[in-house]
Amino acid sequence: MPLRVVSASTALAALFFALAGASDGAAQSRLVDSPTGLRGALSGPGEDGAVETTGAIAGAAGGKARARKPNPARLQTPAKPLLAPLTAYRTAPNARARPGSGLRPGEGVPAPNLAVLPYPAARRIALEESPYAPLGVRVGNIELRPSIDLDGGYNDNPNGAARGAKASGFMRPGAALDARSDWTAHEFKANLRGGYTRFFDAPDANRPEFQGTASLRLDATADTSVKFDAKASIDSQRPGSPEITSLGTHGAKLDGRPLIYSAGLGAGVTQKFGRLETTLRGSLERTEHQDGSLSDGSKLTLSHQDYTTYGVSARVGYEVTPGLKPFVEASLDQRRHDRAIDDNGYRRDSRGVTGRLGSSVEITRTLTGEISAGYSQRRYEDARLKDLRGPLFEASLVWSASPLTTVTLKGSTSFDETTVAGASGSINRRASVNVSHALLRNLTLTADASISERDYRGDPLKERTLRLGLGAEYALTRSVVVRGSFTHDRLRSTAPNSDYTANVFLLGLRLQR
């Protein structure tokens, strides 16, 4: 009996020390997680398969147990750390996951053991300018883009004659200048275009033309700016226009095309109140007519039509979004003629009132511009002349249909002066569309169409004009461009013997910088 008791006691002691030794061995086992750099306790053997063990079993055996070596023929199970590898916040802005994590930023909810590695700020890459675009010339902080046109062509009706049209070849030298400032504050812009058309077989159709605009904006404060603008133009009258035939030439023929000169100045102040923007502007415009020469040596006096227009306007706009700014505008103007009574005995001085509602638009940079509609009325001092009144529509929209295709839409309404007896004036409405497509990086094709209607109030006279055109420009280099175009003009009038058509072919060379 005593022997059995001693044997049982010895067995219990050996079991107790064995359990204690196993616990010590597990506590002494360690592993470094190389992917994360974290240390954690192992639940099994280490990566090398060796475990250092001390305990009661070794003690019972009379010493320390030797480390067990891995069996190369046996597949070793990798250690499983208690902490997961570090990964990136899925919801963190500009975050990126560690390599090999397989995570995508911007999704999920972060766990406590996730780390963030922000990307460096993305650098916006500027779009490459066309290799055929003009480089321009810098003068201080102003960039100039000059160009010279050398064109030639053929016109089958240079003077827009209803009968007996005489076709002729022509040459047209011209020049243009675009200017734009590059200032941190303020802004200056200018656009000048001019040329002279000389017909070889119809010298009476020779004519100059010019269009020029310029503006200067001065930023007094962040919310206050002052803007000055100027414009000028030179145009000519065709011999069959109502403003010439209504004066009567007594059977004589008009030599040449009388010119019309116009110029204008304007100044305005713009004040911003948060998203609310107000503008007050004043303007002064001058229009002068050149007298005509008749074939019998007499003079056709047209300078009696010269007049000056004084105007003031107010505009209030509100920025609903950065791409939508509706506005309301009202304007008053007064026209004063140099001669109080015209050749037909009418006093044509007048006052006008105009109101418009519209909005400037910018939809994801694909559709930009301004559109408006309103009503205008002009009252004349002569009671025999009816008020010139009617709705008006203005539009200037650019639609970038694709990176290669651009569509430009324009519409306008103007209340113009006239010398037609009994007519108070004319309402001229115009609409046009232009499509430009870059077939190649240096080849651009264009197509355009426009229609206009001139309605003389107080007289049954009406004129409708249609213009269709096709064109192409091929850039040989940044500085040399070859261009060609075809234009078809057609006028239909209620006046007898006034309808005409004209076809113009043009081929030219542009030198630009």
Q: Is the pTM of this model over 0.85?
A: no
- CB hemisphere CA count around 16 (13 angstroms): 6
Of 47-56, 72-81, 102-111, 491-500, where does the model show the most confidence? 491-500
221 three-state secondary structure: coil
Mean pLDDT over each residue of the chain, to the nearest integer: 82
**Quick one: pLDDT at residue 42?**
41
Which pLDDT belongs to residue 77? Answer: 58
Return d(Cα 405, Cα 436) in angstroms, integer: 6
**Confidence check: pLDDT of 247 > 90:** no
User: Which residue's structure tokens are 């040989």?
Assistant: 476
Q: Which residue has the higher pLDDT, 192 or 31?
A: 192
pLDDT band at residue 322 using 50, 70 and 90 as cut-offs = confident
Angstrom distance (rounded) from CA 145 to CA 179: 6
* Chain segment 366-398, per-residue pLDDT in tens: 899 999 999 999 999 999 999 999 999 999 999
CA within 13 Å, CB half, 168: 20
Does the pLDDT at position 172 exceed 90?
yes
pLDDT digits (tens, 9 = 90+) for 466-490: 999 999 999 999 999 999 999 999 9
- pLDDT per residue as tens digits for the range 73-106: 555 555 555 555 555 444 444 444 445 545 554 4
CA distance 16 to 46: 26
- Predicted confidence band at 121 (pLDDT cuts at 50, 70, 90)? low
Compute the average pLDDT of residues 22-31: 44
Mean pLDDT across the stretch 26-41?
Answer: 43
In three-state secondary structure terms, 116 is coil
Which tens digit of pLDDT belongs to each residue from 253-295? 888 899 999 999 999 999 999 999 999 999 999 999 999 888 8
- The angle formed by the CA atoms of residues 411, 227 and 142, to the nearest 5 degrees, is 95
Identify the structural domains of the chain with CATH numbers, from first to last. Answer: 2-60 (no CATH), 137-193+213-231+313-512 (2.40.160.10)
Percent of the chain with pLDDT over 90: 60
Mean pLDDT of 23-37: 43
pLDDT of residue 163: 85
**What pLDDT digit, counting tens, does each position of 392-434 carry?**
999 999 999 998 999 999 999 999 999 888 899 999 999 999 9
